[in-house]
Structure 1
Amino acid sequence: MSDLAKASWRADLRLAPSAVACWAAAAWAVGAGFPAAVLVAASCAAAGLLLLCGSLLRRGALPWWGRTVPAVCVVLLTGSLVIASSAVHNRIRAPPDLTKQLALQRSYAVQMEVARPPETAPTPDRFSGRDRTVVTVRLTAIDGRPAMSDLRTPVTVLAGSSWKSVRSGQTLRARVKFSVLDPGGAAVALAFPDGPPVVITEPDGYHRTTERLRSGLRSSATVLPADARGLLPGLVVGDTAGLDAGLEEAMKRTGMTHLTAVSGSNLAIFSGAVLLVGAAVGLRRGRRMLLAAGSVVGFVALVAPDPTVLRASVMAMVCLLGLGTGRSGRGLPALCLAMLLLLTADPYFSRNYGFALSVLACVGLLLCAKPFARLLARWLPDWLAFALAVPTAAQLFCSPVIILLQPAVSSYAVPANVLAAPAVASTTILGVLTIPAAQLWPPAGEFLAWWAGIGAQWIASVARFFSGLPFAQIPWPSGIGGLILLAGLTALSVGLVIVATRLKHPRIVAFVVLAGLLGAAITVPLWRPGNRWLPSDWDVVACDVGQGSGTVIRGGAGSAIVIDVGLEPEPVDRCLTTLGVERVFLILSHFDLDHVGGLEGAIAGRKVDGALLNPVRDPPATAGRVRRLLVDQKVPITVASGVMSGKVGNASYQVLWPPAGNDLPQVAANGSNAASIVVLLTVAGHTVLIPGDIEPESQATLRRRYDLDAEVLFVPHHGSKNQDARFFAELRPRLGVVSVGAGNDYGHPAPATLQLLSRARASTVRTDLCGSIALSFDPADIQVATERSC
């Protein structure tokens, strides 16, 4: 029997309750108000100290006292520390006076320091369709307000191409408008600049040095093929600016995106190589660990010590402690302690998916890598058993959280990561060596980059190969239900492995594993929701099209009115297919990309009886593209003009806005949102108002012009804060539907808008939380069904 098969393993879980409790406490506290957080922190501290005193006085009086009470004390005291830290961070990040100013949504001249290099936003501008630039900055001052001249407020800037040239460490001045985000996120607000920034000061020596080093790596990689050229900087320092979109999608489908982020695995590979070098030259274990720790510090300084990189470095050290010392059980207390330190230093990690994935990957490695390897070592060589066990354990534990980000399971994630693993290690190490070589002698940098590119090209080939195989991704239930299901199957898998490692007969082991796989194969289809959420008598559906709008109103068997089609073709096509819609009448409220970008998906393979378009062709490029596409498909086009009405099957509609005649140019001068088509629908005796993205001025005109009465309101502009309060109050809807994308860059829906719905006594449902939303009308009531539990 191999040494690995004989190995023993024991976990130390004493700090686990405290780590989990502090994680939950921080997640609550970062979104709570300052007084509430201080009160709860003080209460926890007082309770912990009282129990501690009681424990000292009653030591030995009760058998269980000495075991239970100290653990509870640790939970209460560490929890109070994390909550107090959250309260302090909230007050420093967003002082009350600043929050009040930002909430006014005025234009301010501000100073800011660039915290991270600019990136291209994942979604284009919804007006022009052009790429947007995302810049993470620290707001340091608001000009003209002496009380706000020493700020440290994290803000995300959404800008045009003129911001692509800004660099980390620069101090900028710009005029911006703010949109305050919900508390608890990485940024306090979004900033929308009026124009390009003015550079006040250039980066300091540290930032200039790190940028020169990163630039040298990119320059050395220019000798490589396209895939390797874009992938190498991502593997080494997390720079994905040059990564091909097709390759990026392939890596998503195969569960390999973690390779292009600065994660604990990058750092563990590099520091692990340092450990091996230290062992080769005869250093003792303690000195090798210090040398590895120093390499991590140097790597972090190179990449830039932002919170994400610091988190990755801590997790790398934990994994090294557990796996490098050969004592996985001792790695768990180190992981719990690292969690406590990180959550105290930056409590906003508690709501960060990257933090969750790092923790779960470490737990998987520390708990299951060796048991998995021990099981596989019965049939495989030790080195191969461990090579398979490590990615399997990490992937297994991370999968439940990944489901929240993307409701699909990567079928080939384990084999893809196993095949890529040797190349990841060599590419990362050679890539890191390329950085100093490029500064000392550029040809040497290109030489090392060429060798590193061989591994990068192999990784890209693995990703593209597996992503092209059938069933590369298996659809999975989304939301909390999907997470619970996959977490249950994960627990079952781990349990089976633990049982199997204790069984001695290979046939019994094979039987247990096959029984588990068979059980999973039977269970998953039973849990798969399919279209069971959709009632057969649906009347109106708000399709989940992400950050955009797409609404379907049933007209009859297979026919529907479709109002807006979202940003991308695939979501609206999938929604219409699910609903069985084969014949459509289109109403496109205006030409912003998040309302018309998915047009191809709505009309592909369907008969289109006609299209009602907005008379304001803004933005011109998008309006022209929409009209050309409809003309090519020979779709009859009607331009909205004043009050119009029509009927499709059992559903009738009335267009209330935009106005006709001389009023239209005045409304259009306020932008395309102000001139959105507003439709009042009557379906099965109930009324539904779909107002597009109309602004407060248009809302005010509508309520003065019409005696509006609608039971269902599709909240204007995805729940933007710009609303007319009396519009909501006078309309008095029973239900408010918000079509909005999860984690969108705009902070939609705004808390103030949700409060308007609450004051109007309207129930609220949102596509970002609930997925697609189906409404069924009967004479007395409105039934709501949602794609996922919310």
Structure 2
Amino acid sequence: MRLMDRRPLVWFATCFVAGSAAAAGLGARGAMLLAGAAALLAAAAVLGKQASRGVAIACLIGLCLAAGTRLWADARNVTALQELAAAAEADGPRAAYAADALGTIVSAVEIDGDRVTFRMEAHAIQAEGVEPLERAERLQVQLRLSEAPELEVAAAWQRGDEVRVAGELSRPAEATNSGGFDYRRYLRSQGIHWLLKAEGAAALDVASPAAKQWSAAAMLGRVDAARAWLGTRLGALYPAEQSGYMQGLILGIREDLDPEQFNAFARLGLTHILAISGLHVAVFMYAFGGLMKLARQPRERILTALMFAVPLYVLLAGASPSVLRAGVMAVLGLIAARLGKLKDGLHLLAAAAVLLLLYNPYYLDSVSFQLSFLVTLGLIVGVPPVRRALPRPRRGGWLLDLAAVTLVAQLVSFPVTLYYFNQFHLLSLLANFILVPFISFIVMPAGTAAMLLGFVWEDGAGWLAGLSVRANEWSFALVDALSKPDGLRIIWATPPLWWVMVWLLLMAALFRFVDRWNAVRRWREEEAAACEEATAPLSAGSDGGDDQYRRDRSSHSPYGRHMRAAVGYAAALIILLLYAANPYRFDRSGTVSFLDVGQGDAALIRTPAGKHILIDGGGAISFAKPGEEWRARKDPFDVGAKVVVPLLMRRGVSELDLLVVSHLDSDHIKGLHAVLEQIPVKAIWWNGSMKDSEDAVRLMELALDSGIPLYAPADDDEVELDYATRLKVLWPVRRNGEEAVPSEEDQNEHSLVVSLSMYGYTILFPGDISSETERLIVEREQSAGGEASPITILKVAHHGSRYSTSEEWLAYLRPLSAVASVSATNTYGHPHPDVISRLGHAGAALWRTDLEGEARFRLTSSGVFAWKE
């Protein structure tokens, strides 16, 4: 039989996914080029007798159908408010328009502190310049509660409610840092193009509760209520520190999951345990089917019952892409088993992929969808040959089965994990080997049984929950112990897509090689057995010809060829790993990146020798008032954890050679807490003072607890970082005779001012100094060495405050370009028009992070280049 004719549905699904991916990533022109290439490959497959004409045509049709479906979805995925969108683009990122929206809540209502979020399908929008809607507009609603009693009001809102919301329409933010999270693109994949921001519960009026409706949204609202009710029952059975974990594990409710607990699981690559997926569906089917067997139900009735039970479980588990994949595969498998036509998992996986992408082409953009299908495909293809390559002991064979599953899952998910999460823990394999079966087959069933048993026997439920509480304590302790050694966590730069594809193709070839190796091993065993039976003692006069014959046969046997192939696969894997570990190995340019961290400062420097320096880390100033603890969010936005650390990891910063803290104001250091917790730091420079603030104290405590050397350099201190890079301190003035660290509440004038020289070009980082300190620095520099060479790049002091960046300062520095690190929503008026005017008169080109996002500069021996990805 021809190769492609053996599994036509698998080849059709492969072409379908390829067509959808091409349309998503390359657009119409790329999809047409791929279709042309696919047509040539299809013709070659038919001529080479690898596929029948019908299968080749079907695969080509599948590719074109998928590409057309995605392009059609993209063409329809536009806002109905075209004129308002054009105005918003012209008005800039701060544009917001007063509006009233009438529509239906179409997602679960999430409450976190004083913030309420949900999605609504707006049937009517009243705003200036907005025409009546020809079709519904989906909105992301963000409502901020004004008073604590409003929490009870918001708790009554649910999916399916017809509501009117008064607020402001604005466009979602785009990615402003290279490789950063693109909120606009993410919401667009959900069919959302606008944010509707409102203040106070009074801004929302429920016109018709979901309880009085029978729409799809209202029915899903009842499912949300059932999930919340079950989550409450789990919360009553478990202590507070385990409640959110168990709700996520059993019901897929992650709102109450402790962020630190989640991060510990993430470091070990265990977050898939907390995402409802195929394993959870399999456990559910096993338990449900087992109960029906105990009730002596026939096989046909069990299969029929599972066909209806699995979709209900998928809804209760939140219907994420991973659980949808598992649910569709399960239902297709149950139908095939009921009809007596169940063949293999590859066909089920292929059918599930095609059905889900036909239903929603944007599922392909989901990380959970990609990982779910890739790992499932890897397990189906890779586990059988790997398991056959392992011994088959009389006892304990299940441990080797588990080892094969864990190893294959790690190998297949490895490149995608690096691409999206940029880290891999060397103990991840061990953690998955121990904890996945323990949690999946002991903790999760025990928690589910306790939840269900609580309906009829509360004491028994409490006893069963108590056992799982002990199991959770053991699991958390093990996760904490395994995740703590930072030396075993490797940070990788985001690899290119071609690298991911080459790794996955190499894995497919490797699994096929292992299967052939197994065949060769069986052949050798059979040959050895045959030789033992047929071999007779050699005569005394033998010349050893038989031995030579065996050597010749061995050198030309499949075993010899497979040994050479094994060496080739090992070499390919090593080359791929070495490239991913340091993709900048041969890059002799340096980079200076002024990150967009809102109203704060953060600059990342990579020297030509590959060293990394971070100057400040951004951070928000807290305006929390006593008595408003109810406003605190479970996982508040932290610029360090959400912006700075992910960017460092995406760029392969496995450690910081130097962290420069200009001064101890929160907008410069709050983001550094997450940096010190997640990125190793060799040394810290700071201004040598202290400030009586929670953020400053915590930063110093983290540095001391981590054993990081702290240095307080002063003017004229200089260090050579590598052959092309030097760092010099211009301010503050050295304090003589002071032993204790002084306390300085006003930190701005004590900012650490540093000058970076790379390939002869100079970049100046002046912190938040004012014009008075600028004057003092100029006087000191002039008295010491006369006029300075022109500065290549000047970081504008104090975010462009009116009282900094004076004419005298600019006349002395003569900057060629300048960067102002400011927020698009700052209320300080930064950068001040006077500063912009002074920079213009000085002839300095100005980059602003509020308008252009991150400012990136590449420095080489031949020049300085600015670029934006």
| TM score, norm. by length of structure 2 | 0.63
Distance 2:33 2:614 in 1: 56
Q: 1:466 to 1:343 in 2, by over 3 A?
A: same
Aligned to 2:819: 690
Distance 1:676 1:389 in 2: 64
Distance 1:150 1:15 in 2: 37
Q: Say if 2:309 is the partner of 1:295.
A: yes
SS of the residue aligned with 2:490? strand
Identity rate, percent: 18
Aligned to 1:562: 615
- Does the 8 A contact of 2:5 with 2:51 survive in 1? no
**Equivalenced residues, count:** 690
Q: 1:501 to 1:222 in 2, by over 3 A?
A: farther
Superposed displacement of residue 776, structure 1: 1.4
Q: 1:568 to 1:682 in 2, by over 3 A?
A: farther
- Does the 8 A contact of 1:230 with 1:242 survive in 2? yes
Alignment of 1:650-665 (within 5 A): 651=762, 653=764
Aligned to 1:14: 8
Aligned to 1:246: 260
Superposed displacement of residue 230, structure 1: 3.2
Superposed displacement of residue 360, structure 1: 0.9
Aligned to 1:142: 125
Q: Say if 2:183 is the partner of 1:105.
A: no
Distance 2:222 2:282 in 1: 26
Structure 1: runs of 5 or more not aligned: 1-9, 122-130, 662-671, 718-722, 724-735, 740-764, 766-772
Return the match for 1:480 from 480, 496, 509: 496
Superposed displacement of residue 237, structure 1: 0.6
Distance 2:866 2:253 in 1: 44
- Does the 8 A contact of 1:364 with 1:394 survive in 2? yes
Aligned to 1:345: 359
Per mean C-alpha deviation after superposition, the further-off stretch among 227-236 and 537-546 is 537-546
Q: Which has the higher contact order (CA 8 A, sep 6+)?
A: 1
Aligned to 1:664: none
String of CA shifts for 1:243-298, please: whole Å, max 9, x gaps: 33332222112221111122232122101323344456565555433322222122
Aligned to 2:533: none
- Does the 8 A contact of 1:549 with 1:565 survive in 2? yes
Superposed displacement of residue 352, structure 1: 0.8
Alignment of 1:339-738 (within 5 A): 339-376=353-390, 378-379=392-393, 381-420=396-435, 421-439=437-455, 442-443=458-459, 445-468=461-484, 472-480=488-496, 483=500, 486-487=503-504, 490-491=507-508, 493-502=510-519, 503-504=521-522, 519=571, 522-523=574-575, 526-530=578-582, 532=584, 538=590, 540-542=592-594, 549-551=601-603, 562=615, 565=618, 567-568=639-640, 571=645, 580-581=657-658, 584=660, 586=662, 591=667, 605-609=683-687, 634=742, 648=755, 651=762, 653=764, 675=801, 687-693=816-822, 702-707=835-840, 714-717=847-850, 723=851, 738=853
String of CA shifts for 1:580-621, please: whole Å, max 9, x gaps: 447x472799838777767979999433347999xxx9xx98
String of CA shifts for 1:381-433, please: whole Å, max 9, x gaps: 54333333333333332222111222122333333233231441343334344
Q: 1:423 to 1:573 in 2, by over 3 A?
A: closer
Distance 1:135 1:492 in 2: 46
Residue type at the aligned position of 1:143: Q
String of CA shifts for 1:322-356, please: whole Å, max 9, x gaps: 99999996322222221121112111111110110
Per mean C-alpha deviation after superposition, the further-off stretch among 291-300 and 651-660 is 651-660
Q: 1:522 to 1:151 in 2, by over 3 A?
A: closer
Superposed displacement of residue 211, structure 1: 2.3
Superposed displacement of residue 41, structure 1: 10
- Does the 8 A contact of 2:245 with 2:257 survive in 1? yes
Return the match for 2:863 from 765, 781, 785: 781
Return the match for 1:153 from 132, 135, 138: 138
Superposed displacement of residue 236, structure 1: 0.5
Distance 1:105 1:443 in 2: 55
Residue type at the aligned position of 2:119: V
Per mean C-alpha deviation after superposition, the further-off stretch among 62-71 and 511-520 is 511-520
- Does the 8 A contact of 2:664 with 2:747 survive in 1? no
Structure 2: runs of 5 or more not aligned: 90-94, 173-183, 212-217, 529-558, 620-638, 703-711, 713-731, 733-739, 773-797
- Does the 8 A contact of 1:11 with 1:367 survive in 2? no
Distance 2:52 2:506 in 1: 34
Q: 1:545 to 1:626 in 2, by over 3 A?
A: same
Distance 2:322 2:141 in 1: 16
Distance 1:27 1:511 in 2: 36
Superposed displacement of residue 460, structure 1: 3.1
Distance 1:387 1:452 in 2: 22
Distance 1:45 1:491 in 2: 24
SS of the residue aligned with 1:479? coil
Q: 1:628 to 1:367 in 2, by over 3 A?
A: closer
SS of the residue aligned with 1:153? strand
Q: 1:389 to 1:11 in 2, by over 3 A?
A: farther
Distance 1:185 1:578 in 2: 34
Per mean C-alpha deviation after superposition, the further-off stretch among 416-425 and 131-140 is 131-140
- Does the 8 A contact of 1:253 with 1:472 survive in 2? no
Aligned to 1:84: 72
Residue type at the aligned position of 1:366: I
Superposed displacement of residue 439, structure 1: 4.7
Aligned to 2:204: 198
Distance 2:674 2:198 in 1: 28
- Does the 8 A contact of 2:383 with 2:408 survive in 1? yes
Superposed displacement of residue 372, structure 1: 2.7
Aligned to 2:59: 71
- Does the 8 A contact of 1:535 with 1:774 survive in 2? no
Tell me how large the CA RMSD over aligned residues is: 5.8
Per mean C-alpha deviation after superposition, the further-off stretch among 420-429 and 299-308 is 299-308
Q: 1:323 to 1:83 in 2, by over 3 A?
A: farther
Distance 1:539 1:79 in 2: 38
Residue type at the aligned position of 2:16: C
Return the match for 1:179 from 158, 164, 171: 171
Superposed displacement of residue 453, structure 1: 3.8
Distance 2:502 2:456 in 1: 53
SS of the residue aligned with 2:840? coil
Distance 2:114 2:280 in 1: 29
Alignment of 1:209-248 (within 5 A): 210-225=224-239, 227-248=241-262
Distance 1:547 1:264 in 2: 43
- Does the 8 A contact of 1:233 with 1:239 survive in 2? yes
Aligned to 1:23: 17
Q: 1:709 to 1:531 in 2, by over 3 A?
A: farther
Distance 2:803 2:337 in 1: 61
| TM score, norm. by length of structure 1 | 0.69
Which one has the largest radius of gyration? Answer: 2
String of CA shifts for 1:567-592, please: whole Å, max 9, x gaps: 3398499999967447x472799838
- Does the 8 A contact of 1:365 with 1:390 survive in 2? yes
- Does the 8 A contact of 2:114 with 2:145 survive in 1? yes
Distance 1:451 1:437 in 2: 14
Distance 2:699 2:480 in 1: 33
Residue type at the aligned position of 1:175: G
Per mean C-alpha deviation after superposition, the further-off stretch among 533-542 and 165-174 is 533-542
